[in-house]
Amino acid sequence: MVVDTYQKSEYKKYTHPIPNRECILSFLKTHKDLINLKKIEKKFGINNQEAKKALRRRLRAMERDKQIIYTYNFYYIVLENLNTVIGKVIGHRDGYGFLRSETLKEDLWLSVEQMKLCIHGDIILARVIKSEKKGRSSAKLLKILKPNNVLIVGRYYIEKKIQFVVPYDSRFNFKIFVFSSILTKKLSIGSIVVVKLNKNYLNKKNKVEGIIVEVLGGKEMRTTLAVDIAIRTHSIPYLWSTEVKNQLYKINTKIDQKEFKNRIDLRHLPFFTIDEEDACDFDDAIYCKKKNSGEGGWNLWVAISDVSYYVKPGTPIDQEALKRGNSVYFPSLVVPMLPEKISTNLCSLNPHVERLCLICEMSLSDEGELIKYKHYEAVICSQGRFTYDEIFKIWNGDIKLCLKYNKLLKYIKNLFLLQRTLKKYDISKKGVYFENVETKFILDSNFKIKNIYQHIRNDAHKFIESCMILANIASAKFIKKYQYPILFRNHDRPDQDSIMNFRIILNELGLSLSGGVTPESIHYSDLLKKIKNRSDYEMIQTLLLRSMKQAVYSPENQGHFGLSLSSYVHFTSPIRRYPDLVLHRAIKKTLYTLDNNKKNLKTNSFLKFNSYYIGNIKKIGTHCSMTERRADEANRDVMDWLKCDFMEKKIGNIFTGVVSNVTSFGFFVRLNKYFIDGLIRLEHLSDDYYYFDSVGLKFIGKSTKNTFCLGDILKVKVVSVNLNQRKIELSLCR
């Protein structure tokens, strides 16, 4: 029962009683459309000014209690009367937009007129307008539920004494009119600035207003400036608060010797860290050895830095780590999840330094199958920091490196022998394994691209990845027995539409995907094995990836389709991923609970563990999934700028490339020499009228019947480069 906010005694002085909530709701439900205040007043015969005020107060109370909705244009509705949806506005540089909602398969169209009432990033309530034809349904704004309050980066201009900023992100398709301030007095035209929109950013003339809060640089773009823009555009936290700094100051850089007594001492074992050459933090180390003769198989230790020892739940550092969700890696900068004192010092497994770790010790069969496992707290002392290339070269007999690391060769050889086993017998035989070919950039002293090459992962990369996956599998098996709130790494199977569309493309390429209506991971894996030696392998692999869903973090275990596993967690990177830190805390709480000798050692932080996460863990999973995507998008922005900056010097040059994507407005060609995509626009195909085949993803000439489709090899010329829009345009060379 809903209790009215206002008592009857308040209305005794009125000549006409104010309708109660039930009466108002009943009236609104009889109307299938929006109703303004005047109609409500007329219905209930309210003419007295005091009575009108009381009615408005009651309507506001009903809105607050979510019984009704008050729209942006001063109308009232009951949600059940309309087909409504809540979603996020996605702007487009041409002025229109889309509404993206988790409850809908397809985005809804937002017209140019509707986009004048909201901006990219707003969370809105909208009315769904079904399309009378077979086109996309549209959305009509009812209410902005959560305005996009991000800072917007753009260039500063003055015209006829009017100051405005043109956003860098073209999805904000408007000028922001700014007022004079201390910052604007010394600004030169074209400067790159950060704008904070006014609380009510849309004025009566639908003009967006704001104030400049930061100046990033002048007209000239550079890599560091591109990073600054990406950080602010994607709202990535990058400053440490005073509270975090104060907590950091109190953390002792020396480990309390008493802590060693409560841990298993593994300092005598020759652990190594193996990472990329430019790695900043070293949070995992490994060691392996053959089992005693007669047993067969291997013992494998994966040591992960014990971040949870230093970062307690609810502390300023922990709250900031959750806010960031993960570390973000740019070419010239890392925005770490944890302060450097922790990430690159106390929790970095640097050589010949004692470090606290959480260990996953595994027993493997001769076929590399996980037999047994156990987790425990330990202290280790890494014996060396290696790069993937160094280990790979040593495995292949590099004399110089073998002499340099002579004392450690037998342990490195053990890694090689285990690697052969894991390579022969896949960890998850049914999983989808991609031959990742990474594009690597050689940067100069100004962090601009000097050269580009394809970096093919060697056996050392794959071996470490296999060890980490094994540790994740073992951790998932261990923790799912208990009811502690953790975040599983879920990867859902592709939906039917994605499978069908992928099969259509494969059919055009003369290929097929087995497995019937619901193919399993092994069917995708079989396809990749069949096409391994094709020249368009990378393109098909990319299309396969696009057809799959994104992996997410969730407290509900739904399995990992890509790895063909019933459960999977992230255990191996608590320095740079918050879900891993949550898991470490859960594992340690479990270990403390199971060990009767340690029951008295429970600290307040572990006693608080459940209360800290219960009720919040789903939100944390959703947030960390978002921050992961945010980091990818921000990094992609910077990499796209770097590519454009590099290709600007190649305008007029001719290259060979392969068609990598086909859209309604043209097709993209990936240049073989630099692995960079450029666009050939449909309107630039002048030899014929071409129509777009959306099913077969190709263009077909009406007269000539010429086609342009995925995998075609073409000669192209670099026509133009737009650094602001991160676009490279090409033309065909006949």
Please write the tens of the pLDDT for every residue from 43-85. Answer: 787 878 888 888 888 888 887 877 777 776 677 777 666 678 8
Under 8 Å between Cβ of 485 and 614: yes
Cα–Cα distance, 551 to 562 (Å, whole number):
9
pLDDT at residue 134 greater than cutoff 80 = no
Within a 10 A sphere around the Cβ of 249, how many other Cβ atoms?
Answer: 8
At residue 636, does pLDDT exceed 80? yes
What is the architecture of the domain spanning 152-220? Beta Barrel (2.40)
Q: Cα–Cα distances in Å, from 110 out to 120, 121, 456, 673? A: 11, 13, 43, 40
Pick the CATH number of 8-79 from 1.10.10, 3.30.499, 3.40.50, 3.30.460: 1.10.10
Classify the C-alpha dihedral 478-479-483-484 as positive or negative. positive
Confidence label for 28 from pLDDT (cuts 50, 70 and 90): confident
Interval 277-294 mean pLDDT: 87
DSSP label at residue 128:
E
pLDDT for residue 12 is more than 70: no
Tokens of 417: 């022998």
DSSP string over 333-375: -EE-SS-HIIIIIITS--TT-EEEEEEEEEEE-TT--EEEEEE
Domain with CATH 1.10.10 in the chain: 8-79
Instruction: Classify domain 83-146 by CATH number.
Output: 2.40.50.140
Residue that has been written with the tokens 């007095």 in this structure: 185
pLDDT in tens, 532-562: 888 788 888 888 988 899 999 999 999 999 9
So what's the pLDDT on residue 597?
54
pLDDT at site 3: 42
Average pLDDT, stretch 618-641?
94
First and final C-alpha spacing in the chain: 76
175: helix, strand or coil? coil
Confidence tier at 624 by pLDDT (50, 70, 90)? very high
pLDDT classification of 609: cutoffs 50, 70, 90: low
**DSSP helix/strand/coil, 125:** strand
User: In the prediction, which pLDDT does 600 show?
Assistant: 47
- Of residues 150, 255, 237, 253, the one with CA closest to residue 194: 150
* DSSP 8-state symbol, 143: E
pLDDT exceeds 80 at position 146:
yes
| pLDDT for 447 | 85
> What pLDDT does 374 receive?
95
Instruction: Residue 659: name the closest of 640, 629, 680 by CA.
Output: 680
- Mean predicted confidence (pLDDT) in 114-118: 88
Q: Which residues contact 683 (CB under 8 A, 6 or more apart)?
A: none
Q: pLDDT, tens digit, for every residue of 289-324?
A: 998 877 789 999 999 999 999 999 999 999 999 999
CB under 8 Å to 544, separation ≥6 — which residues? 432, 502, 524, 527, 528
- pLDDT on residue 536: 80
pLDDT of 608 above 80: no
DSSP 672: T
Tell me the mean pLDDT in the region 649-669. 93
Contacting residues for 360 by C-beta, under 8 A, at least 6 apart: 301, 302, 304, 373, 374, 375, 471, 474, 475, 571
User: In the chain, what percentage of residues exceed pLDDT 70?
Assistant: 92
pLDDT of residue 606: 53
CATH 2.40.50.140 domain residues, the chain: 83-146, 651-732
With bands split at pLDDT 50, 70 and 90, how would you rate the model's confidence at 430?
low
What are 481-506's pLDDT values in tens digits? 887 889 999 999 998 888 998 998 89
What letter represents residue 300's amino acid? L
Q: Are the C-beta atoms of 274 and 283 separated by less than 8 Å?
A: no
503 CB contacts (<8 Å, ≥6 apart)?
A: 512, 513
**Residue 148 confidence class, pLDDT cut points 50, 70, 90:** confident
Residue 436 in this model has a pLDDT that exceeds 70 = no
Lowest pLDDT segment from 135-144, 265-274, 435-444: 435-444
Q: Is the pLDDT of residue 10 over 60?
A: no
- Which pLDDT score is estimated for 27? 78
Q: Determine the Cα–Cα distance for residues 718 and 653; give it in Å rounded to an integer.
A: 6
Does residue 11 surpass a pLDDT of 50? no
Q: Would strands 264-265 and 370-381 be described as parallel, antiparallel, or unpaired?
A: parallel
The answer, yes or no, to whether residue 260 has pLDDT greater than 80, is yes
Residue among 474, 282, 526 at smallest CA distance from 383: 282
Tell me which residue of 129, 32, 27, 23 sits closest to 80, measured CA to CA.
32
Q: Provide the pLDDT confidence category of residue 437 given band limits of 50, 70 and 90.
A: low
> Per DSSP, what are the bridge partners of residue 288?
300
Q: Provide the mean pLDDT of the chain.
A: 86
| pLDDT at position 379 | 96
Give the whole-angstrom CA distance, residue 20 versus residue 641: 60
- What does the pLDDT look like over 372-423, one tens digit per residue? 999 999 999 999 999 999 999 999 999 999 999 999 999 999 999 999 998 8
Which pLDDT value is given to residue 59?
84
Q: Give the count of alpha carbons within 13 A of 692, CB side only.
A: 12
Q: What whole-number distance in Å separates Cα of residue 312 and Cα of residue 318?
A: 6
Q: Decide: 610 and 592 in contact? Cβ < 8 Å.
A: no
Rounded Cα distance between 184 and 390, Å, is 53
Query: Is the per-residue pLDDT at 343 higher than 80?
Result: yes
Residue 184: count of CB within 10 angstroms of its CB: 17
| Helices and strands (DSSP H and E) totals, the chain | 22, 34
Q: Work out the pLDDT band at 9, boundaries 50, 70, 90.
A: very low
356 pLDDT higher than 90? yes
In this prediction, residue 75 carries a pLDDT of: 76
- Vertex 489 angle, CA 468 and 305, to 5°: 40
Query: Is-contact 565 551, C-beta < 8 A?
Result: no
What residue ranges of the chain are covered by domains with CATH 2.40.50.700? 152-220
Helix H or strand E segment including 328: strand 328-329
Q: Has residue 30 got a pLDDT over 80?
A: no
Which of 72-76, 131-135, 194-198, 204-208 is the least confident region?
Answer: 131-135
Residue 719: its H or E element: strand 713-722
Amino acid in the structure at residue 343: S
Q: What is the pLDDT of residue 133?
A: 62
Mean pLDDT of 680-689: 90
- pLDDT computed for residue 205 by the predictor: 66
Burial 14-38 (b: 16+ CB within 10 A, else e): eeeebbebeebbebbeeeeebbebe
Q: What are phi and psi of 660, to 5 degrees?
A: -105, -20
Q: Are strands 654-663 and 666-671 parallel, antiparallel or unpaired?
A: antiparallel
| Total residue length of the chain | 734
> Do 325 and 624 touch, CB atoms closer than 8 A?
yes
Among 62-76, 110-124, 184-198, 699-713, the least confident range: 62-76
Three-class secondary structure assignment of 512-552? CCCCCCCCCHHHHHHHHHHCCCCCCHHHHHHHHHHHCCCCE
Q: Which residue has the higher pLDDT, 697 or 465?
A: 465
- Which residue is associated with the tokens 């007999």? 397
Residue 357 above 90 pLDDT? yes
What pLDDT sits at residue 465?
A: 92
DSSP three-state, residue 288: strand
Fold of domain 651-732 = OB fold (Dihydrolipoamide Acetyltransferase, E2P) (2.40.50)
Q: Are 468 and 572 in contact (CB under 8 A)?
A: yes
pTM: 0.86
Which bin fits 52, alpha (ψ -120 to 50), beta or left (φ > 0)?
alpha
Q: Is 429 helix (H, G, I), strand (E, B) or coil?
A: coil
Q: Which of 54-68, 84-98, 196-210, 243-257 bottoms out in mean pLDDT, i.e. has the lowest?
A: 196-210
For residue 255 the two structure tokens come to 């480990």
pLDDT(2) > 50: no
Residue 729 β-bridge partners: 679, 720
Q: Which amino acid is at 247?
A: Q
Asked if the model's pLDDT at residue 647 lies above 90, the reply is yes
Longest distance between any two alpha carbons in the chain, whole Å:
102
Instruction: Report how far residue 152's alpha carbon sits from residue 174's, in angstroms, rounded to the nearest whole number.
Output: 12
Pairwise CA distance, residues 513 & 491, whole Å: 20
Q: Annotate 411-442 with b (16+ C-beta within 10 A) or e (fewer).
A: bbebbbebbebbeeeebbeebbbeeeeeeebe
